[in-house]
Amino acid sequence: MNFLLNFGVLLGTLYAARVEAFQNPIRKPGPDPSVVFANGFYHLIDMDSRTYTSYDHIEITRSKTLGGLLNGETKTIWTDKNTTRNANMWAPEIHRIDTVWHMFYSSCDSSLPCCDSCHTRVLRGCNKATPFDCTYTHLADLVPPTGSQGGPKSDFAFSIDGTYLEIPGKGRYHVLSIINKDRLQSIAITKLDTTKWTVDGWHVISVPDQPWEKNTTNSNPNSITAVNEAPHNAFHATSNPKGSCGTDRFTLAQKVTFKPNNSPQFGIPQPLSAVLQPPSGE
């Protein structure tokens, strides 16, 4: 099964100002986006899908406007000579934890066939004003002990698309995609120790039990967006009706509203020709 949910995070303080409209996509190509607002800039982290056959480095792009990310200032922030983790770098996300920028991402062993060797990993950045200013170093591989992993025997360490979750008063968690005991790609959660940078055993919280989750052709990719922690949702999609994991994926952003019970209402994905209003902070 293709794991169709794609997480993107857009954090920022909104204030009243004159704004200019923008059109999607805000990055092309642009799979697995994560967007963070810091020090007056939007920072977009994504896989460099212009080198789709390798996925061997991660880039960051910054711009003072959301629409400006399409041609914003870009640089490579991570490459890796360690062959056990330098292939198929997927789903990078930036999070500021205890004043320090960290990057969560997935990668695999370049000496092995994809993708059983893939794990979620963490890089440590810096405590400067923006993630653009950091030099990143490998910090940890978030793999629980054998016997508390995935697969029928709880000994399959494959994981991808990990994210960071902090619940005030409860703790810090790692949410990710694993293979469950029935060999289905599923969403799991585990406690994350950000002192030792270790995780407990994986606990499955969602399995693909709906028809749209089992449709590996992804006939309507625009119908799928994921929970996002901000007033705008950054997500990737493709105009290919058959679905795609290639260079015809791009990053889009769209305003999110909230219901009276504080649950997010994502609305209907707008066509690429639509003229959209950016966050008021611009």
Local structure of residue 159 (DSSP, 8 states): -
Question: Among candidates 229, 250, 245, which has minimal Cα distance to 7?
Answer: 229
130 occurs within a structural domain: yes
Question: Among candidates 205, 254, 176, 230, which has minimal Cα distance to 3?
Answer: 176
Residue 193: CATH number of its domain: 2.115.10.20
* Measured distance CA(267)–CA(124) in Å, rounded: 35
- Expressed as residue numbers, the domain containing 253 is 10-265
Question: What is the rounded average pLDDT of the residues 78-96?
Answer: 94
Element (H, E) at 37: strand 34-38
Mean pLDDT of the chain: 82
Q: In this model, does residue 40 exceed pLDDT 90?
A: yes
Question: Among candidates 18, 130, 17, 19, which has minimal Cα distance to 73?
Answer: 130
Q: How many structural domains compose the chain?
A: 1
Q: In this model, does residue 124 exceed pLDDT 90?
A: yes
Q: What is the dihedral of CA 39, 40, 42, 45, to 10 degrees?
A: -20
208 occurs within a structural domain: yes
pLDDT for the residue 194: 98
236 occurs within a structural domain: yes
pLDDT for the residue 116: 95
Highest mean pLDDT among 9-13, 53-57, 115-119, 271-275: 115-119
- Give CA separation, 88 vs 20, 58, 93, 114, 148, in Å: 36, 10, 15, 8, 24
28 occurs within a structural domain: yes
Residue 15: pLDDT band with limits 50, 70, 90: very low
270 occurs within a structural domain: no
SS3 content of the chain, % helix, strand, coil (to 5): 5, 40, 55
Q: In this model, does residue 234 exceed pLDDT 70?
A: no
Q: Which residue would you say has higher pLDDT here, 23 or 125?
A: 125
Q: Which residue is associated with the tokens 């960071």?
A: 164
Vertex 123: Cα angle to 120 and 129 (nearest 5): 135
66 occurs within a structural domain: yes
271 occurs within a structural domain: no
Three-state DSSP state, 164: strand
4 occurs within a structural domain: no
**pLDDT tens string 160-210:** 999 999 999 999 999 999 999 999 999 999 999 999 999 999 999 999 888
* Measured distance CA(234)–CA(81) in Å, rounded: 30
Q: Which residue is associated with the tokens 């016997």?
A: 147
Residue 224: pLDDT band with limits 50, 70, 90: very low
Q: What is the dihedral of CA 63, 258, 99, 85, to 10 degrees?
A: -70
pLDDT for the residue 220: 37
